[in-house]
Structure 1
Amino acid sequence: MSSQQQQSDTIATQELQEIVIQAPKVLRKSDMDVFYPSVSAIEHSKNGLQMLKNLMIPTLTVNEALSSVTSSGQSVQVRINGREASLDQVRNLLPETIKRVEWIDNPGLRYKGANAVLNFIVINPSAGGSLMTQAMPALNCSWGQYNAGLKLNNGRSQFGMSANFKLTNKVEMHREYHEVFTYPDGQTLTRTETPTRGYMDATFGGLQLDYSYIKPDTTVLWVAVHGYKAWPETSLYEGLLSLSNSPDAILLHDYNSKKGFTPSFQAYLEQHFGRGQLIAIDFNGSLYNGRTTHNYNERDAATENQLTDVNTRIRDCNQAYGIEANYIKNWKNSRLTAGVSYTANRNR
């Protein structure tokens, strides 16, 4: 007599929740598309740059790691409440303060020849504050991006402080090239460079203090003091250079270095009037003090005799000022912009 046992395995199943970001509401106008962020897009965004990515604007590419925004491979100008801004300032925006995003793919003269423009319309919370930090270090080399932003709100006013730091320390790099020169008599000369070693340093940081007053669609006032510090941005190329008309190889050394400090001041005022009219005034001024160094030399690989030795030292002291005023009149299907601008530079 035989008996047969049957055994059944029980597998517990669990349904995973899907993350769904609803498409934003889009309002098509004659000169722009206006995107209103959906609730899900706000909930799944930690900063303004992620919010922009979640808006899924056609042809727009947002790269958070490289801090770049492009449209069909071309750069995009970004603005906050009408004033020109940086991607670091966009990154420090709280998603819930972004009221709408204006996408202008055919900008006019007001935007200084930009290929496309993104204008973030934001509001200030009436109370409280926020602290945002972000760190993106590399694991296999001395490279990283670090950002922090503090904002304190009181009524329609906001006081802000932000800092950013970019580390690039002795990151390995090289160059190699092959070029042919043809003389008038038909003879040719071929130069070929084979790399031996090279590296790049590009460490810089910035600190900004700013104040803004925003009465939505009525008044925008923004002033900021910013300091930008570039530690020695250096690049070193060393290689072996061979010439088709000589059996002797040449040791090549090419070194570049640049460092400096740039304080700047910016102010922006936008006032709306009745019947779709507004006036926008933008002022900026900056001062740059820096030093640039370039060393280039060639030596005979066999004897190490000096063949070429060029050394350059440049000290810069540059000032730049600019003011622009625009009058804008909006109709239902058209817009008129009239403005004046003045720029001044003093370079030593």
Structure 2
Amino acid sequence: MKKTLLFLILLMFSCVSIAQSYKEAKNDSVKTKCVDEDNDISYHKNVHDNDNAVSDSLTLNEVVVKSSRAVNTNGALRIFPTDKQKESSSTAYGLLSKLALPLISVDEVAHTISAPSNMGTVQVRINDVEATKSDLASIDLSAVKYVDFIRNPGVRYGQNVGFVINIIVKKAVSGYAVGADLSHTLSFPNSSDNLFAKFNFGKNEISLSYWLDFSDKRKLRYEETDQYLMPDNSFYYITRRDKERRLKNIWHNLQLKYSFSETGRYVFQATLGTDLSNCPIDYTLRENIVNQDCDTVMINSSEKSFSPVLDLYYNLNIGKNQSVTLNATGTYSDASYSWSYGGNSPYSYTSDGDSWSLFAEGIYENRMRLFTFSSGLQYSLKYNSNKYLGDAEAINTIHNSLVYAFAQIKGNLAALEYTLGTGVSCMYYRQASDSYKYWLWRPELSLAYPFWDKFKLKYYLRMYQNPPRLEYLGDIDIRNNELEVSRGNSALFPTRVLDNSLTISYQLPTFYAEIETSYRNNYHCYMSQINRETDENGNTNFIFTRENQRRILMFYVNAYTRYDIIPDKLTFAATGGFFRFFNYGNTYKHHYSSFNGAFRATAYLGKFTISADASNGWSFLEGETRVANTYTYSLAASYKYKDFILSLIWQNGFQNDLVYNKAYLVNRYVGKIQKLIDGDMGNMLTFKISWHLSKGRKYEDLKHTVNNKDNDTGIIKGN
């Protein structure tokens, strides 16, 4: 680990030296990048941009920018994709993977964008509003201007959001575009197919998209070795090992969108969509081995869900400097789930759940001479009801709501860039006899100062809250096996999080490097708790639940480097850092250190594009569980022919049985060594064909795409 960390640090500073030498040699031919940083990324911004600049020369407020690909602004890492990157990508997933953003994992095959599991979710936006999976697949990449990567989201981005990716594109006002993106895995039954069409006429746009995902895995296996401390202080040992496993999933999405806009004045948009998810088969044949005696049990589960969503959006520009934005989203979810466990102590239950949710938001913005002021109000309301039948019988009904008001100013004091924001939120929760109102003051401060010509120093502070997941709140016991029971806790309350970071960056036209130091404190967070109980029949049960406990601390130092070694021909990006975790429960204390790193290299060879990436996996400690994800790597090649892009992606080559992750539970009552093996992910070979056809396209101001739907039904599931 030390050698790897030293290698990355030396690599980073070697690249600085090379890039500096390159800059000096080309000093007469390359102009230094100059950017007017009056662009706020912490709230919705309605820019009306008729920029028609080409890839290597971007005109921003009459300042010519030559060859700069990355800029560390006050609130974001802003990256300008090259024409080669856009032309060789079939979807936004492909483009973002080529940008190799720090701490972000993009899977072009699964169409997922994720971050390390305990660092928050990734929110992807198009023109500063949340984008759906269909939006990212059907985006016109030729209209992409730049991408803002925000590691410390502002006061209005929502709950548990650790990263925001904001893709800025120009709006089409005429013509049409149709296309398809088809991905099929050759090594096992797995596909992801998207069809879309967009039509623009005058002030109107109509778009329709359909998505179908299918997966049938037969090489999943789970293994665990457990030890339990019994009441008489003896240990009970058991090994659980899957002999067979099959997991089949089918997912449909249909989205219809209509927008009506007048350039520089107003935009109205209505979006109607629906998700239909079905997991008809989740079958496991498992061996339980105790003292060389083997007992085989069968575990079956199935799940269905249906979730329509309606979103309405309106933006009005008042004069040249003011705007008002209104947004409302309503979602309904209907879900059913069944689970059964065989063996000597059979156990089964079913669950039906319904949920209704409403999200509404209003934002006012005023771009004044000295600074930009914005304020807003968010309101969300959710009703959730789950009925359990069988060996687990209960009816859980949860009401919760959130009101959040915020205000922010952003400006410059000489060379110092600043953002100052504050917000107040009130969360209401009620389930049976448990209820509370949780108030939180949520400040935000960002300071950035350039020095030594190409260096910039930035400090960021914010406070926010993380509410518990609905499945943690259900007031019910669910048996996992003969010894373990999962128990919900209706008394959980949100976690208060204080986040600090200090970043130093260095920038040249074709080179960017930074080192970020971050410290995060989760106060009174909901953490795992395992209790031992003996029932009236003398049987010992180990209760797995969650309780609000002392705190979790995370400290890390992470370096990131991206370098256009040969502009438009060869690019390289790498990230790596040291992470330290401190977990303080009511009855335990655990510490853990890890190194996490990844790199990506891409070569553009005419109509061919070849890329390679690798990651050592994400290792972390949360509560009493230490998780080590496996190292992964992939090799991809694509060829562009007219309106088609043909791609072949090889993931985790030469690994027949990929150990997806390992987990270690170090509780005083229960010790576990767990292993998840995914044979389907080893030597995974996927073929993609993308087709995009457009005609008569012209672009004007920016548009709006949204995804505030809520599909969380809160059903507690068996393990």
Q: What TM-score bracket applies, with the shorter chain setting the length? A: 0.7 to 0.9
Q: Say whether the 8 Å CA contact 1:125–1:156 is kept in structure 2.
A: no
Q: Which residue of 2 aligns with 1:292?
A: 337
Tell me the equivalent position of 1:186. Answer: 233
The one-letter code matched in structure 1 to 2:325 is: A
Q: What is residue 63 of structure 1 aligned with on the other side?
A: 107
Out of 312, 316, 323, the position equivalent to 2:360 is: 323
Q: Are 1:123 and 1:216, in contact at CA under 8 Å, matched by a contact in 2? A: no
Q: Which amino acid aligns with 2:94?
A: Q
Give yes or no for the alignment of 1:43 onto 2:87: yes
Listed as ranges, the matches of 1:189-268 within 5 Å are 189-213=236-260, 219-244=266-291, 248-268=293-313
Q: Distance in 1 between matches of 2:170 and 2:360?
A: 25
- The superposition leaves residues 211-245 of structure 1 with CA deviations (integer Å, 9 ceiling, x where unpaired) of 1345567644332111111123532111121224x
Q: Secondary structure at the match of 1:338?
A: strand
What secondary structure sits across from 1:175 in the alignment? strand
Taking the aligned partners of 1:42 and 1:323, their CA distance within structure 2 comes to: 34
Matches within 5 A, 1:1-348: 25-26=69-70, 28-55=72-99, 57=101, 60-70=104-114, 75-113=121-159, 114-213=161-260, 219-244=266-291, 248-274=293-319, 276-298=321-343, 307-330=344-367, 336-348=373-385
| Higher RCO, 1 vs 2 (CA within 8 Å, ≥6 residues apart) | 2
- After superposition, the Cα gap between the structure-2 partners of 1:216 and 1:72, relative to the gap in structure 1 and judged at 3 Å, is farther
Change in CA separation of 1:25 and 1:331 when aligned onto 2, cut-off 3 Å:
farther
Specify the code of the residue in structure 1 equivalent to 2:202: G
Amino acid at match of 1:188: F
- Equivalent AA in structure 2 for residue 237 of structure 1: T
Q: Name the residue aligned to 1:9.
A: none
Residues 179/32 of structure 1: CA separation in 2 closer, same or farther (3 Å cut): same
Give the partner amino acid of 1:250.
D
**Contact 1:124–1:157, Cα closer than 8 Å, also in 2:** no
- The question of whether the paired residues in 2 share the 8 Å contact of 1:174 and 1:199 is answered with no
Tell me how far apart the structure 2 counterparts of residues 262 and 102 of structure 1 sit (CA, whole Å): 30
Q: Residues 69-92 of structure 1, C-alpha deviation per residue, up to 9 Å, x if partnerless?
A: 345775421112222112331121
Q: Rg bigger for which structure? A: 1
Q: Which sits farther off after the overlay, 84-93 or 289-298?
A: 84-93
Q: In 2, Cα distance between the equivalents of 1:47 and 1:91?
A: 5
Residue in 1 that maps onto 2:429: none
> 1:316-343 CA deviation, whole Å, 9 max, x = no partner?
2221111122223456896544222222
Long gaps (5+) in structure 2: 1-54, 57-66, 386-719
8 A Cα contact 1:224 1:265, kept in partner: yes
| Cα offsets for 1:115-142 (capped at 9, x unmatched) | 1212223333232211111111111221
Counterparts in 2 of 1:277 and 1:117: CA distance versus 1, 3 Å: farther
Structure 1 residue ranges without an equivalent (≥5): 1-20, 299-306
CA deviation after TM superposition for structure 1 residue 110, in Å: 0.4
RMSD: 2.8
Calculate percent identity across the aligned residue pairs.
Answer: 19
Contact 2:183 2:192 in 1 (8 A): yes
How many Å apart are 1:207 and its aligned residue?
0.6
**Equivalents in 2 of 1:59, 1:329: separation in Å?**
34
TM-score normalised per structure 2: 0.41
Amino acid at match of 1:99: K
Counterpart Cα distance in 2 of 1:194 and 1:58:
36
